Amino acid sequence: MRLILLFLIAALLAGCGGGGGGGGLGNVAATGRIIWLSSGTGPNPPATVQIGNLSAQTDTGGNFQIAAPAGSTSLLVVYQPVGGSAVTFRFDIPPLQANQDLGDFYIGPEKITVTGRVLSAVDGSAIPGASVRFAGRMGVTDASGRFNLPEVAYDSGNVAAFLGLEGRVTKTGFFARDFFPSAGAVAGVVTIEDLSLSPEGGTSPPGNPANIEGFISPAGSAPGTVVKLLQNGTPVRQFTVGSDAHYGFFVVAGSYVIQYHNLINGLSAPDESVTLAGANQVVRRDVTLR
């Protein structure tokens, strides 16, 4: 089995250059962690991580460290799970210029595509050029605010593990936004519901970038709660609660209904009605999941 795995690594490197970059610029220390999605832990047995023509194996926690060629722009992971088929995942990484922690990379028995759209929380317009990171994949929104992340780790036998993965959207001039998927894959695709970003400055939004906000309790059950804001029965905003147990929206004056449901643990809270007399008014609704 080990000979087959080594042959597979060699074939992949021969076909695609083994991780990109290099160019004789010397080596830098690249560290990170590989996580087997199905278990949420480091691969067992170890996975092989390759950057450029150099490789290392993960430790029991999935951590790796490689003296990688400077300028490298991709990372290859090869793993042979016990009783399963060998899997390979290639990830884009920022060009290595100095010692760098690359973060977490998820691998799994299957691959799916994650897609979605990033919009302004002020007027619903598309936000191009926003950076999206999820499960170790990186992408950038196009002119219509859409992003597409191919070959994301997935396990149809443990969808809950996938739903627990947290993504992040960033864009200069806007507050960063964390998100979770709210449903499993359909025909190999997971669609993230629209992600709204609030601008950092200006008169809209005022102060704290939300005029409808609140906290979810108990805090330990809050991550992954999908909070929907409806107007006249139509969803107009959606927020996926992160580890801070906080949610928030910025909207124009009007009457709204807030719905709360956590697809990960099945908990929910009663709907809340909110009326804003003006955009500068701030209303807080804290709820408890049951």
Instruction: Please give the distance of CA 41 from its chain centroid, rounded to a whole number.
Output: 17
Residue 135 pLDDT > 60: yes
Residues 243-281 have pLDDT tens digits of: 999 998 888 788 999 999 998 999 999 999 999 887 778
Residues 50-97 have pLDDT tens digits of: 999 999 999 999 999 999 999 999 999 999 999 999 999 999 999 999
For the chain, what is the mean pLDDT? 87
Residue 18 pLDDT > 50: no
pLDDT band at 200 (very low <50, low <70, confident <90, very high): low
pLDDT band at 25 (very low <50, low <70, confident <90, very high): low
Residues 229-241 have pLDDT tens digits of: 888 887 778 888 9
- Average of per-residue pLDDT across 150-167: 95
Residue 201 is predicted with a pLDDT of: 52
Residue 23 pLDDT > 50: no
Residue 249 is predicted with a pLDDT of: 86
Residue 106 is predicted with a pLDDT of: 98
Two structure tokens written together for 271: 């709907």
Residue 204 pLDDT > 50: no
Burial string for 51-66 (b: 16+ CB within 10 Å, else e) reads bbebbbebeeebebeb
Residue 5 pLDDT > 90: no
Higher model confidence: residue 147 or residue 122?
A: 147
Residue 146 pLDDT > 60: yes
Residue 255 is predicted with a pLDDT of: 92
Higher model confidence: residue 210 or residue 160?
A: 160
Tell me the pTM: 0.67
